[in-house]
Structure 1
Amino acid sequence: MKDGYYIAPAFMDKLVVHITKNFMTLPNIKVPLILGIWGGKGQGKSFQCELVFAKMGINPIVMSAGELESGNAGEPAKLIRQRYREAADIIKKGKMCALFINDLDAGAGRLGGTTQYTVNNQMVNATLMNIADNPTNVQLPGMYNKEENPRVPIIVTGNDFSTLYAPLIRDGRMEKFYWAPTRDDRVGVCKGIFRTDGVPEEEVYQLVDTFPGQSIDFFGALRARVYDD
């Protein structure tokens, strides 16, 4: 629990282990820099990430899919490097940090034949691959120094990583975690949603069991609809 909100144990375990591994020096073990959390829409991936970050005392550098496209070619790739360096500077000062990219597949993936695949899509994929391969040597255009920067764990969320460039999501670069909340997870989240309304625990169980196929955000929308009525 964090501020009355439920954190799924499996989700927290995966995120904490990934971040911790990236700050440790493990002999002869290649640790993937990127953790890709994927799953159905409205399952609370981003919110769970925020809760885990808050519990760990991490204030991540956040990017969204909308920043991965620009009228200027190369701008999004440069922005990723800048944000990564910002996070590295925070780590250099002795605080934990991470780079958190929401909905990566929406900004850098191929979404069917109707979507234009631009130079920026290519460069975002290539930049993330390059950073994953050389996490301690991330340079900005026009600024080349030999000094190494600290390693920054990258966490990305998405609905379908098969739309991304295949070499980016291979195991050495990205560790993938499929998030599908269990019944206990859904009950825990619903308790957090309805906690201020005084809904009895058995009724929360009943509600979750009545709508077994619905996503997490359905229950938030349901509560809002009750207030509408």
Structure 2
Amino acid sequence: MSYYISPRFLDKLAVHLAKNFMKLPNVNVPLILGIHGGKGEGKSFQCELAFEKLGIEPIRMSGGELESPDAGDPARLIRMRYREAAELVKVRGKMCALLINDIDAGAGRVDSTTQYTVNTQLVNATLMNIADNPTNVQLPGSYDSNPIRRVPIIVTGNDFSTLYAPLVRDGRMEKFYWKPDRSDRIGIVSGIFAPDNIPQWEIERLVDMYPDRSIDFFGSLRSSLYDEQVRKFVYEIGLERLSLRLVNSTEALPEFRPPSFDLRTLKEAGDRLLAEGDRVSQRNLVEEYMPVGKVLR
């Protein structure tokens, strides 16, 4: 399957990586590139496609690794992963990067009800220290006087205003707001439906039908079209035998014929998904259960 890489996205990532492996005279190059934007717009996936295009295998982390029952563990892990990336540059002789996905989920502070822990402080302080001294990153309890290779850090998130302000300041972090325009959306959705041979004009109509939905919506839309065939298989096998058939059977996994991908079918499925999503927004039960404090949308 051929996926679409946004030229704007690829350009921003490639330039940031290149600048960090160059020696520009009297130029302070930010170590961190922060890619932020709405949920489900494909920030992490575009990063992966761009890395593949550039022939780079990054060291990956997620926001879920930025908290721990033990104080200091996430900060230590960041230092270890950064040094691992620097070692890969030395051993493989090609660029590498540290990629931290959903950083605001692990290190951000949404409102006054969000607990601000020692680990949150240490993660922010560690990233600031690495951004200021990228060739002198030490592990706790040891000291290595030999400088390591500078390795750029890429972080993704939805809302960087929840992060510690000194971390996102100019000079440490370069910011890139990712909101795919119409041409990007058409290119990405064309990649999602590439195996289905949908005419280009139908892809464009489909994108224009749901201009406010995220890119993930179209992936869920394609997946939902297989529901009827999966449902038929489930009841043909029987609910009691389903687990055994799918997990512990000598038979091959079932294969399904491609469903109808005509525009009317896509619109019907899309409207169903839209209605389910709207029900979540309309319930507002959190305001009933948590009347005190600000409820974020």
Q: TM-score, normalised by structure 2?
A: 0.76
- Paired residue for 1:205? 204
Matched, 1:182 2:211: no
Partner amino acid for 1:99?
A: L
Which string of whole-angstrom CA distances, capped at 9 and with x for unpartnered residues, describes residues 5-58 of structure 1?
000010000000000000001110000000000000000000000000001110
Given the alignment, which residue of 47, 50, 53 partners 2:48?
A: 50
Secondary structure (helix, strand or coil) at the match of 1:135 reads coil
Partner amino acid for 2:83?
A: R
Paired with 1:141 and 1:167, the residues of 2 have a C-alpha distance of 23
Matched, 1:31 2:29: yes
Paired with 2:226 and 2:202, the residues of 1 have a C-alpha distance of 18
Paired with 2:175 and 2:212, the residues of 1 have a C-alpha distance of 23
Between 1:106-115 and 1:186-195, the stretch displaced more is 106-115
- Paired residue for 1:116? 115
Alpha-carbon distance, 1:96 to partner: 1.3
- Paired residue for 2:288? none
Between 1:105-114 and 1:177-186, the stretch displaced more is 105-114
What fraction of aligned residue pairs are identical, expressed as a percent? 70
Unaligned runs of at least 5 residues, structure 2: 229-297
Which string of whole-angstrom CA distances, capped at 9 and with x for unpartnered residues, describes residues 169-203 of structure 1?
00100000000000000000011000101111110
Alpha-carbon distance, 1:226 to partner: 1.3
Higher Cα Rg, which structure: 2
Runs of 4+ in 1 over 4 A off after TM superposition: none
Which string of whole-angstrom CA distances, capped at 9 and with x for unpartnered residues, describes residues 110-162 of structure 1?
02122111000000000000000000100111221211000000000000000
Paired with 1:182 and 1:163, the residues of 2 have a C-alpha distance of 25
- Paired residue for 1:14? 12
Partner amino acid for 1:179?
A: W
Alpha-carbon distance, 1:228 to partner: 1.2
- Paired residue for 1:145? 144
Paired with 1:148 and 1:86, the residues of 2 have a C-alpha distance of 13
Partner amino acid for 2:63?
A: A
Secondary structure (helix, strand or coil) at the match of 1:35 reads strand
Q: Kindly report which structure 2 residues correspond to 1:42-121, keeping only aligned pairs within 5 A, or say none.
A: 42-93=40-91, 94-121=93-120
Which string of whole-angstrom CA distances, capped at 9 and with x for unpartnered residues, describes residues 46-101 of structure 1?
00000000011100000001100001000000000000000000111212110000
Count of residues paired in the alignment: 227
Secondary structure (helix, strand or coil) at the match of 1:47 reads helix
Unaligned runs of at least 5 residues, structure 1: none
Paired with 2:104 and 2:21, the residues of 1 have a C-alpha distance of 26
Secondary structure (helix, strand or coil) at the match of 2:96 reads coil
CA-atom RMSD in angstroms: 0.7
Partner amino acid for 1:132?
A: A
Secondary structure (helix, strand or coil) at the match of 2:225 reads helix
Secondary structure (helix, strand or coil) at the match of 2:140 reads coil
Which string of whole-angstrom CA distances, capped at 9 and with x for unpartnered residues, describes residues 193-218 of structure 1?
00101111110000001111110000
Partner amino acid for 2:217?
A: F
Paired with 2:171 and 2:195, the residues of 1 have a C-alpha distance of 44
Partner amino acid for 2:25?
A: P
Matched, 1:217 2:204: no
Secondary structure (helix, strand or coil) at the match of 1:206 reads helix
